[in-house]
Amino acid sequence: MSTEYSTRTGDSRRGSNWLSRRIVSSLWPNQRLRWTSEGVYYLIIWSVMLTIGLYQQVNLILLVAGLAAGPVIASIFVSAGMLSRLSVSRRTPAYVFSGEPLKIDYTLRNDRRWTAALALIADDVMTAVDRSLPGTRQLHSGVFFPQVPGRSQVEIRWEGTSPARGRYTFQPLDLATRAPFGLIERHVTLPVEDSLIVYPRVGQLTRRWHLHEREASQTRRGQRHDRSVQQDEYHGLRDYRPGDSPRWIHWRTSARLGQPMVKEFEQQHEQDLAVLIDPWLRRTQVDAKQREAVEEAIRFAATLCHETCRRPGRRLLLGWTGAVPGMRQGPASVKLLHELLSQLAMMKPSHEGGLAPLLDILPPATLREALFVVISTRPINLYEESEKSLRLSESSVRGMFARVTMLDVSRGDLEGMIQFGSSEPVQFVRNDDSPSVIGPAGALNGSERGS
């Protein structure tokens, strides 16, 4: 008898505890309450009213104080129901360029049948994965949903400016409401996680760079004897310049004009390009100017890769120095461009490494034929670096140095070679012959993805 009674008593206690937990969880499912400033003032006035009524024993004041407690209690229960059966989705671009407009679409869906969702605020936070990269910071975004009727959804776009380069992750989204009276703000955390990569800022190469590039390439015109050049047809003639190979002289035209004329080949404008970046930064006593020099070098390398990938038909290689040098290469294409920009977005400054270890891992064909653009934040002596190399011979060094363009950011070599501010789209032809539009400082059209 006693055993049966105690068991029933335990069952009743467990049942009451289960019921109380269900009630609490239904009212506050992973939610947080916070008094608003209006709610604090309201609570102070209500407390003073109640105190005066109790002290003076004035029934009318006590009645008003009791009625005034109704909005507080209603705010607690109504706000809990306001956040029930709601779902939020986020749609972000797959990537964005630093400093360019960032657009994020938030969609709030209300699965309740009859009641609408009122005064809802979606607060979002984007945090850098690697906070050691310069300029990275938390980015807060948020949208306000005034009303979402039952069995419907509303989409609102947030627009801002993208942060510094790097990879960012979105924290769980915070959804809050102050309905119905604005006295209490109730929050709920929704696990809507996502990531975004911010590419380095990309500009446009100026006339100064193109003139510099043309002068460097002219020293190679008429000197290539590889099979690919011999198979291409020339597109015009020009005057003979010192250093041109006699193999490309058009003798019939030269005899008619009385001066040597040299064939110009289309392939000469599609010579392979190797962009080598040395993001060197001293270990200690680093100032803002030196950090900006690294970012300037990365921006120029990103712009150079972007401009090169606009012209299919040539190969592009990006190499970088560091404790462990690395490289990526391939035919100029959209896919390669994304790989190179992703690498530049996550690139860290380094006080270790040099150009010689990077030259040792480059393919032989690149060392033999490609044009080189070396971008560094410190002065580099190519002859000293070649002596440290384990692969370069004296003859290959002489041939390669004739194709190297050295740019020292610390000396201001990049001044006037790149400009920003234009957002006019340009045409880019992909390898599958389907055109895609890439802005000079913008993203590919149709690059957004759903969460």
CB-hemisphere CA count at 13 Å for 222? Answer: 22
Assigned CATH topology for domain 86-199: Immunoglobulin-like (2.60.40)
pLDDT of residue 40: 92
pLDDT of residue 169: 93
CA distance 187 to 176: 4
pLDDT of residue 243: 62
pLDDT along the chain (451 residues), means of 10: 36 54 53 88 92 89 90 87 89 92 94 91 92 84 92 94 93 90 90 91 88 66 43 64 73 84 61 91 87 94 92 88 92 93 94 89 86 92 81 71 88 88 43 39 41 40
pLDDT of residue 76: 86
Architecture category of domain 271-420 in CATH: 3-Layer(aba) Sandwich (3.40)
Cα-Cα-Cα-Cα torsion 424, 407, 296, 442, nearest 10 degrees, comes to 20
CA distance 304 to 309: 9
pLDDT of residue 448: 41
CA dihedral for 180, 183, 184, 185, sign (positive or negative): positive
pLDDT of residue 437: 35
- Other CB atoms closer than 10 Å to residue 37's CB: what's the count? 9
C-alpha R_g of the chain: 34
The C-alpha angle 18, 24, 27, rounded to 5 degrees, equals: 140
- Other CB atoms closer than 10 Å to residue 75's CB: what's the count? 25
CA distance 275 to 367: 12
pLDDT of residue 389: 79
CA distance 79 to 118: 9
**Secondary structure (3-state) at 282:** coil
Spell out the domain ranges in the chain.
Answer: 86-199, 221-267, 271-420
Regarding pTM above 0.85, the answer is no
> What is the total residue count of the chain?
451
CA distance 9 to 1: 12
CA distance 223 to 63: 101
The token pair at 172 is 């769980």
Do residues 347 and 197 lie in contact, with contact meaning Cβ atoms separated by under 8 Å?
Answer: no
pLDDT of residue 336: 94
